[in-house]
Amino acid sequence: MSIFIDENTKVIVQGLTGGQGRFHGVRNRDYGTQIVGGVSPKKAGENVDGIPVFASCKEAVAATGATASFVVVPPAGATAAILEAAQAGITFIVCITEGIPAHDEAKCYNILKRDFPNTRLLGPNCPGIISPGKANIGITSGDIALAGGPVGIVSRSGTLTYQALHELSQQGVGQTTCVGIGGDPVPGTNFIDCLEAFEADPETKAVMMIGEIGGSEEERAAEWIKKHMTKPVVSYIAGVTAPPGRKMGHAGAIISGSSGTAQAKMAALEAAGVIVALNPTEAGEKMVAIVKAL
């Protein structure tokens, strides 16, 4: 199985008529994802490489039966696009947009939780999600993913998401689903959400979790793993050499004293029984060894 999406998921692309929306939307469609429509108020009635364009999410959902949306909209309009999708009945939204102000993210997140509890947001500022051989929503290359499982991947880092997929695929280890949750301060979906879904998925036998410095999401995940996870978890935390007190890349990646450091996160995960690697390649090697022993 896979988590969150599969070959039956029908997807609309908000921003399909833009350069990035067109490129990634068509690419996702060509991978095998059911991209059933796009949304662009000014270009309704047109099509992008055969994909029909609608004036609103409501119209797109009514015409196609879509349950998922891929938001490729600039920062100024991204949260409005997310909420429009939720209001139209979309239950899974992937937003890759980078640069949304944190207070806008927080407001959007709280509205979703309050008014649309059955809608899941992935992102913003994330590479998206791929269930190899079934569906791909976002910017991850399907060429580096290998279908068949048994490993689930969840990652805060976009680049390391791709490396994790490549490392496992090169060694013949497939993936059930790979989820890039993004590194912004207010992610719509967090580590625990994904770990819980992987724990419940019978075809996922082990999980690779990639974290990074800043915030406390990894420590919270470690607590959850210790209490609830029965499947082996391999983890790598990026940013071991980052100096305390400096903002490092992602909006959430800032270290204060000993809080948020790679060392603190690694210690918490090790205490929870997670196998912690010192670099991405080692993480791949440790996961391959686990899969061979299953």
Catalytic residue annotation: 250
* Angstrom distance (rounded) from CA 258 to CA 256: 6
Interatomic CA distance for residues 6 and 30, integer angstroms: 15
**E strands within 123-167?**
128-131, 135-138, 150-155
**Six token digits for residue 20:** 């990035």
Spatial contact of 201 and 246, defined as CB atoms under 8 Å apart: no
- The DSSP code sequence of 199-249 is HH-TT--EEEEEEESSSSHHHHHHHHHHHH--S-EEEEEE-TTPPTT-B-S
On whether the CB atoms of residues 113 and 141 are closer than 8 A, the answer is no
199 and 231 in contact (C-beta within 8 Å)? yes
Task: Give the Cα separation of 198 and 126 in Å (integer).
Answer: 19
Is the peptide bond between 244 and the residue preceding it cis, with omega within 30 degrees of 0? no
Neighbours of 108 (CB within 10 A): 23
Using alpha carbons, list the distances in angstroms from residue 53 to 91, 95, 251: 20, 19, 34
Query: Quick check: 248 and 183 in contact, CB under 8 A?
Result: no
